[in-house]
């Protein structure tokens, strides 16, 4: 398929007329995929909003038991990784192969660090029984009872916490896979400067995953916000 | 006899008559490798369309068997043939298979895949590998669905309402939900591919205003697939997690709200019925113009009504929930919006009918299916108004009235649209003509059988008999018996194409490039088309809009061959001596509006 | 074969009559419209078939703005008239009159139970195969008094479910409403014809969904009174006098210590509940809500969701603490609270003899300070 009868760039696929068309298609396709992703997370954000309005006290209490330090570090890591990803596009566009390697690997390292910290956080949550279902207990349960709140709704918040961060984590893992694939493509020379659009598409995805975290972080960890309740 | 053998060509002055069909320089897509692997690893959109065709035909048979079991059991008023559990599993299997695994991929993934690149003059879809991946993803979804069925089936109904689906049901809900979830991604992939292709890969001269209406309708469909499917995907994840862990956000025991699931579910599943019906609209526009030799009446109205349906379709999901405890004011709002969506559908019906005015109409199988479509869809559409109207929905909701309405739209509309499309483009896909006589017989039987099946259901629905009831008051038995009798006729109607279509591959007459004398770009290419659809040295350049039947030119500006005659005996390949249209200059004077 | 049903189903309530008007109006309109389309379709197919006179060449007609505008606007107007008619019928069906007799119906897999204002209960249908023996004996009908021109006897049905979603539908009344776990929904009827009609569960609820059916019997008022009296002797509670729901609710109100905070004295930690029902409650953080049944119920189950302005959200949730019918009793009791009727905090005495307001529909509907 990629064997072109035309004397064009080797990265031009046969069914496109020229690279401009090919890249425009790839970018449009990626933007449409991002629209899908937004609606995907939109569903669970909408559901979260309903319950957040119905059960503010429980959600604030549950949120205050999550580890903000881990979340804060993770936010910094992801924002930085968006920068390195953008630098990778620039390197690809300039044909700076070393720079491309460096920035891709940096992005990968930052993303991986995010997942490792997330893993520690989950382990801590499990240890402290900050989980929905039968294992719910420990300090968070005691606190709930102390404030006369309903444990069911605290667990409801935790359902959201695990589903939202879990799905986000899966997206990060997919992104890490894509970055590794890009490193491989760079290695075999499939990303010449005229094909930097491939890196750009990957970066669009990475930025979206980053942006979703920027919504998750305040929704889940900072829910308590300025509202003061309790004793 | 090939079309070019006929010297009567009505070209526009200055434009060339169609050149003699060139000897195929490249192998056609069917001959490009015949091993199984060459099919399983293909990235050719036409082959992937065929793969989808085979897959969903198998699903249609399975879903049909489930429907047969349901109908058979309803002959008795006390669930005398199946146990209640078996009946519940049968109607769920019927719903899940037909909706998620047949109707949603039917036209977009089979005909859309095959035709969209050809109609806009592209060599392939924008992302061929993604296209193949979508088929494999679909298969994975189907495997999960099959696992659910083999593992005892699902008994939740296709709507999967919690808390029944999360705590009540004892059946294989999780594999079924995974199957629907996975197949959703295949739907997103197809939709995304079609959208990007239509945006970026149109041939020179193929402006938005010259797109065939089939492309417009698929564009609108793809938009819904792209934006609706992810919402049901996340909803199914939440449902699955709740089912597995025993606790989740729809669980009333911890303060969750099961009605929230209904909102999220219908946010997708209402637009999803437009995923199912819009492509049928596209087929009708193509077929009705060709077989009446007319321009479509009001191109822009028909095109924009598809887009209107796609957009408004997202705003009326809660009309499925008028008696589910939603607030009085939201019920008013959603009823009002539901009336709005009926308008574009009505416009389409009027415009199709007006297209026939002063046409030169012939009644080959595709046209018969389309006439059936218009009638049945109209009935299905107007009965939908009863359900969108608040005061009448209170009584008719969840009764057989809904079942009949839905089948009139989905089977009477969409399945007939799919059959019309399949019969219209079959010669293009396979290079062979099927039996004209048998295809007409089959169309007639399907339409008659359909009426007999579903008209009694309107009646018992009006009497308030609920759906999903294997036990029902005995006085209504006669109507269920009638309905089952109709269903068996309908089944026979489907059986006939299952015979003559495959047989045509071996015994059918060779079709020629343009057996119906149609104007679309797909007909400018040989049948079956070469691997990259067109002669690569001479990619198509579009000079005019679709449906210039009155002028007698196709979208390349070349004259059309003589259309097939009205008679059945000669078959469509026969060229009866019919007076062709007059010269184009004379036509211009007759333009209305 | 069995006897055929009547061609047009019995319309046995005022709402059913409304429905029939709306139904036949829409039917007439769409029949005319569809037949016009089919007629044109058929005519064109015959007159313009190939080979017919004058079909040798086809004219190039691209459309007509005037025609298309006409067949866009006219259907729009007609469709909106459907909406308007439907909205009127729906508004009537959704707004029960204040003097309606209240019957509490709850669904569970797979039976319906009804509870009358004086506390009498009856199982009104379901699958006998999955009932307890004592339940099986109790299967009866939902008996309702018939309304006549001179005496209207509207019935308000309050619905909820113990497990999954059900739907309480009576085709003869053209009525239907989902029964949801954890929520109240309402339907109401004014039965106008004596007779026996089907009750169906219309929302799929599992294996025996199709057997979750029963009968509603509409009878003259005196027969209804006799039936209800008979029911109470046969199936009444041990304390027939204070056995009404509201009285049992009062006992629960004391037992559950609600009275500790919701007392009538000045140090109360929570609002006084007298005259709450039907009043407008200002909410913390802005907004207000009418304290209907669902609000009261939600406030017991999810007290922090809608906190009253000026009070701290300190009330614990009773979700999972109260059985469905107990909750219903407490709600009824709160509804019945009038000015000066909140018991003393130390009150442990049996309830006084005397009927709460909802026991007799003739009683003045509510205290004047409402609304």
Which long-range CB contacts under 8 A does C129-136 form with residues at least 24 apart? C129/C208, C129/C211, C130/C208, C135/C111
Domain that holds residue A175: 19-221
pLDDT tier at A9, thresholds 50, 70, 90: confident
Residues 6-65 of chain B whose Cβ lies under 8 A from any Cβ of chain C = none
Q: Is residue C264 part of a domain?
A: yes
Question: Would you state the torsion angle of the CA atoms of residues C130, C136, C138, C144, taken in this order, to the nearest 10 degrees?
Answer: 60
Question: Range of C115's domain?
Answer: 101-235
Q: Does any domain span residue A47? A: yes
pTM, full prediction: 0.85
Mean pLDDT of successive 10-residue segments in chain B (593 residues)? 39 50 70 90 95 96 96 94 94 95 94 96 95 97 93 91 89 93 96 96 95 97 95 94 89 87 94 94 96 94 95 93 91 94 95 94 95 96 96 95 96 94 96 94 96 95 95 94 96 95 93 93 93 88 93 92 66 37 41 42
Residue C313 counted as domain residue: yes
Residue C367 maps to a domain: no
Answer yes or no: is pLDDT of A53 > 50: yes
**What total number of domains does chain A contain?**
1
Contacts of A52 in chain C (CB under 8 A): none
Residues in CB range of B555: below 8 A, 6 or more apart: B206, B210, B519, B520, B521, B524, B540, B542, B543, B544, B545, B546, B548
% of chain A beyond a pLDDT of 90 = 71
According to the model, what pLDDT value does residue B18 have?
56
Phi, psi of B589 (to 5 degrees): -70, -20
Q: Considering only A27-36, A56-65, C279-288, which range has the smallest mean pLDDT? A: C279-288
Domain shared by C114 and C212, yes or no: yes
Question: No. of H helices and E strands in chain A?
Answer: 7, 0
Half-sphere exposure of C61 (CA within 13 A, CB side): 21
Task: Tell me which chain B residue has its CA closest to the CA of residue C215.
Answer: B473
Q: Is B254 within 8 Å of A152 when comparing Cβ atoms?
A: yes
Q: How far does the CA of residue B544 sit from the closest CA of chain A (Å)?
A: 22
Helices (H), B154-257: 173-200, 213-245
Q: What phi-psi label fits residue B510: left (phi over 0), alpha (psi between -120 and 50 degrees) or beta?
A: beta
- When divided into structural domains, chain C yields a total of 3
State residue C358's pLDDT score. 30
If one counts the domains in chain B, the total is: 1
Which segments of chain C have a pLDDT < 70?
1-2, 53-56, 231-247, 264-268, 338-341, 343-371
Q: Quote the pLDDT of residue C229.
A: 81
Domain of B191, in residue numbers: 40-568
- The answer to whether B321 touches B387, Cβ cutoff 8 Å, is no
- C336 and C280 share one domain: yes
- In CATH, what number is assigned to the domain containing residue C301? 1.10.760.10
Q: Does C78 share its domain with C143? A: no
Same domain, C106 and C229: yes
User: Do C83 and C144 have their domain in common?
Assistant: no
Question: Residues of B with CB below 8 A from C68's CB?
Answer: 298, 301, 347, 350-351
- Nearest by CB to residue C63, choosing from B297, B356, B477, is B297
Closest by CA position to B286, among listed B522, B504, B485: B522
What count of CB pairs under 8 Å joins A to C? 26
- pLDDT at residue A164, as a whole number: 95
Spatial CA neighbour of B323 closest among B227, B241, B269, B390? B390
How big is the A-B interface in CB pairs under 8 Å?
111
**Residues contacting residue C194 through CB under 8 Å, at least 6 positions apart:** C146, C218, C219, C220
Touching C (3+ Cβ pairs <8 A), the chains are: A, B
Kindly state the tokens that stand for B574.
């026969």
Provide the pLDDT for residue C313. 79
Same domain, C117 and C231: yes
pLDDT at B19 (0 to 100): 55
- Reference A153, options C303, B231, C184, C308; nearest CA is C303
Report pLDDT for B528: 92
User: Least CA distance to B129: which residue of chain A?
Assistant: A1
Note whether residue A31 is domain-resident: yes
* Chain B residues whose beta carbon lies within 8 Å of the beta carbon of residue A36: 188, 192, 226-227, 229-230
pLDDT at position C368 is 39
- CA dist., res. C269 & res. C262, Å (int): 7
Closest Cβ opposite residue A43 in set B253, B256, B264: B264
Domain of B497, CATH number, reads 1.20.210.10
Judge whether A9 lies within some domain.
no
Q: Is the residue at B7 inside a domain? A: no
Percentage of chain A beyond pLDDT 70 is 94
pLDDT at A133: 84
A148 in contact with C, Cβ within 8 Å? yes
pLDDT at C338 (0 to 100): 67
| C50 is a domain residue | no
Residues C89, C106 within the same domain:
no
Domain membership of residue B473 (yes or no) is yes
Q: Are residues C117 and C222 in the same domain?
A: yes
CATH of the domain at A73: 1.20.120.80
Give chain A positions within 8 Å (CB) of C257.
none
For chain A, give the mean pLDDT: 90
Best residue of A136, A148, A151, A226 to probe chain C, by most C CBs closer than 10 Å: A148
Q: Per the CB < 8 Å rule, is C86 touching B390? A: yes
Whether C314 and chain A come into contact, CB under 8 Å, resolves to: yes
- Report chain C residues whose CB lies below 8 A from the CB of A149: 304, 316-317
**pLDDT tens per residue, range C317-363:** 787 777 777 888 888 778 777 666 676 554 433 333 222 323 233 33
Paired strand residues for C288: C282
Does residue C55 fall inside a structural domain?
no
Please indicate, yes or no, if residue B353 is contained in any of the structural domains: yes
């Amino acid at each position: 398929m990629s064997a072109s009868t035309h004397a064009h760039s080797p990265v031009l696929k046969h069914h496109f007329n020229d690279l401009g068309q090919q890249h425009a298609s790839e970018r449009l396709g990626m933007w449409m995929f991002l629209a899908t992703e937004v609606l995907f997370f939109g569903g669970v954000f909408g559901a979260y909003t309903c319950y957040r309005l119905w059960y503010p006290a429980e959600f604030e209490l549950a949120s205050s038991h999550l580890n903000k330090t881990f979340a804060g570090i993770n936010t910094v890591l992801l924002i930085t990784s968006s920068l390195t990803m953008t630098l990778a596009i620039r390197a690809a566009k300039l044909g700076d192969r070393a720079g491309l390697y460096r920035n891709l690997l940096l992005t990968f390292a930052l993303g991986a660090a995010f997942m490792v910290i997330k893993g520690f956080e989950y382990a801590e949550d499990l240890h402290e029984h900050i989980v929905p279902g039968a294992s719910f207990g420990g300090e968070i349960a005691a606190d709930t009872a102390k404030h006369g709140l309903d444990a069911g709704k605290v667990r409801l918040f935790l359902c959201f916490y695990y589903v939202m961060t879990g799905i986000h984590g899966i997206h990060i893992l997919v992104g890490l896979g894509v970055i590794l694939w890009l490193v491989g493509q760079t290695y075999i020379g499939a990303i010449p400067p005229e094909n930097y659009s491939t890196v750009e598409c990957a970066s669009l995805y990475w930025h979206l995953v980053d942006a979703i975290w920027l919504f998750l972080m305040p929704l889940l960890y900072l829910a308590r916000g300025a509202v003061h309740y309790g004793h | 006899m090939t079309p070019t053998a006929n010297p009567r060509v009505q070209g526009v002055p200055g434009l060339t008559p169609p050149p003699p069909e060139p000897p195929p320089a490249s192998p056609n897509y069917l001959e490009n490798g015949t091993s199984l692997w060459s099919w399983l690893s293909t990235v050719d959109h036409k082959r992937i369309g065929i793969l989808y065709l085979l897959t969903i035909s198998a699903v249609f048979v399975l879903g049909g068997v489930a429907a047969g079991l349901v109908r058979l059991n309803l002959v008795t008023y006390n669930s005398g043939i199946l146990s209640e559990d078996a009946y519940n599993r049968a109607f769920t299997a019927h719903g899940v298979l037909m909706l998620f695994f047949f109707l949603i991929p039917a036209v977009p993934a089979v005909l859309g895949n095959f035709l969209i690149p050809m109609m806009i003059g592209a060599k392939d879809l924008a992302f061929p590998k993604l296209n193949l991946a979508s088929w494999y993803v679909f298969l994975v979804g189907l495997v999960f669905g099959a696992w659910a069925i083999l593992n005892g089936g699902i008994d939740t109904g296709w709507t999967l309402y919690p808390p029944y689906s999360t705590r009540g049901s004892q059946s294989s809900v999780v594999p079924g939900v995974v199957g629907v979830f996975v197949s959703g991604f295949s739907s997103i992939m197809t939709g995304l591919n079609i959208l990007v292709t239509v945006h970026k890969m149109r041939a020179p001269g193929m402006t938005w205003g010259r797109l065939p209406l089939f492309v417009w309708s698929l564009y609108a469909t793809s938009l819904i697939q792209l934006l609706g499917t992810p919402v049901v995907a996340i909803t199914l994840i939440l449902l699955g997690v709740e089912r597995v862990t025993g606790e989740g956000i729809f669980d009333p025991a911890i303060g969750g709200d099961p009605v929230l699931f209904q909102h999220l579910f219908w946010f997708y599943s209402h637009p999803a019925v437009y995923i199912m019906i819009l492509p049928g609209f596209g087929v009708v526009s193509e077929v009705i113009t060709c077989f009446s030799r007319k321009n479509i009446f009001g191109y822009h109205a028909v095109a924009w009504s598809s887009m209107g349906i796609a957009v408004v379709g997202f705003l009326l999901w809660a009309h499925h929930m008028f008696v589910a405890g939603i607030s009085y004011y939201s019920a008013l709002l959603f009823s009002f919006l539901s009336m709005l969506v009926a308008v574009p559908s009505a416009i389409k019906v009027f415009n199709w009918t007006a297209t026939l005015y002063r046409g030169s109409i012939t009644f080959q199988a595709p046209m018969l299916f389309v006439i059936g479509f218009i009638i049945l869809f109209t009935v299905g559409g107007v009965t939908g108004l009863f359900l969108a109207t608040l005061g009448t929905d209170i009584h008719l909701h969840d009764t057989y009235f809904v079942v009949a309405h839905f089948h009139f739209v989905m089977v009477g509309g969409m399945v007939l649209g799919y059959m019309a499309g399949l019969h219209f483009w079959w010669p293009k896909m396979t290079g062979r003509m099927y039996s004209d006589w048998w295809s007409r017989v089959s169309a007639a039987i399907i339409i008659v059988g359909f009426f007999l099946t579903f008209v009694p259901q309107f009646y018992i629905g009006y009497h308030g008999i609920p759906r999903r009831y294997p036990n029902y008051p005995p006085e209504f038995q006669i109507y269920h018996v009638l309905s089952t009798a109709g269903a068996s006729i309908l089944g026979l109607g489907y059986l006939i194409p299952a015979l003559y279509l495959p047989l045509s591959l071996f015994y059918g007459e060779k079709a020629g490039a343009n057996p119906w004398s149609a104007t679309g770009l797909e007909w400018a290419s040989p049948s079956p088309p070469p691997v990259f659809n067109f002669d690569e040295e001479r990619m198509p350049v579009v000079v005019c809009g679709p449906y210039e039947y009155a002028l007698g030119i196709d979208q390349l500006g070349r004259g059309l061959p003589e259309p097939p005659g009205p008679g059945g005996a000669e078959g469509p390949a026969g060229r009866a001596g019919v007076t062709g249209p007059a010269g184009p200059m004379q036509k211009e004077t007759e333009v209305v509006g | 074969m069995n006897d055929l049903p009547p061609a047009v189903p019995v319309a046995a309530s005022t709402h059913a009559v409304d429905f029939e008007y709306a139904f036949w109006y829409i039917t007439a309109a769409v029949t005319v419209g569809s037949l016009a389309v089919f007629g044109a379709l058929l005519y064109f197919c015959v007159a313009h078939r190939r080979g017919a006179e004058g079909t040798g060449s086809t004219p190039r007609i691209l459309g007509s703005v005037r025609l298309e505008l006409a067949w866009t606007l006219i259907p729009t107007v007609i469709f909106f008239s459907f909406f308007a008619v439907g909205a009127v019928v729906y508004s009537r069906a959704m707004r029960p009159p204040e003097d309606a007799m209240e019957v509490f119906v709850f669904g569970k897999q797979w039976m319906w139970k009804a509870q009358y204002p004086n506390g009498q209960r009856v199982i009104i249908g379901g699958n006998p195969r999955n009932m307890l023996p004592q339940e099986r004996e109790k299967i009866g009908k939902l008996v309702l008094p018939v309304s006549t021109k001179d005496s209207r006897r509207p019935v308000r049905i309050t619905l909820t479910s113990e497990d999954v979603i059900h739907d309480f539908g009576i085709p003869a009344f053209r009525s239907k409403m989902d029964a949801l776990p954890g929520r109240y929904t309402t339907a109401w009827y004014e039965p106008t014809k004596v007779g026996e009609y089907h009750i169906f569960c219309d929302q799929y609820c599992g294996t025996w969904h199709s057997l979750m059916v029963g009968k509603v019997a509409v009878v003259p008022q005196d027969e209804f009174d006799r039936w209800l009296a008979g029911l109470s002797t046969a199936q009444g509670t041990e304390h027939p006098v204070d056995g009404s729901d509201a009285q049992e609710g009062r006992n629960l109100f004391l037992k559950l210590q609600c009275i500790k905070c919701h007392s009538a004295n000045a140090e109360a930690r929570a609002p006084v509940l007298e005259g709450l029902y039907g009043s407008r409650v200002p909410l913390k953080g802005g907004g207000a809500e009418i304290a209907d049944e669902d609000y009261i119920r939600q406030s017991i189950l999810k007290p922090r969701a809608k906190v009253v302005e000026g009070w701290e959200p300190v009330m614990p949730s009773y979700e999972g603490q109260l059985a469905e019918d107990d909750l219903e009793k407490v709600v009824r009791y709160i509804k019945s609270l009038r000015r000066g009727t909140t018991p003393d905090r130390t009150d442990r005495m049996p309830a006084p003899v005397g009927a709460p307001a909802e026991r007799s529909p003739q009683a003045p509907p509510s205290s004047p300070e409402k609304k």
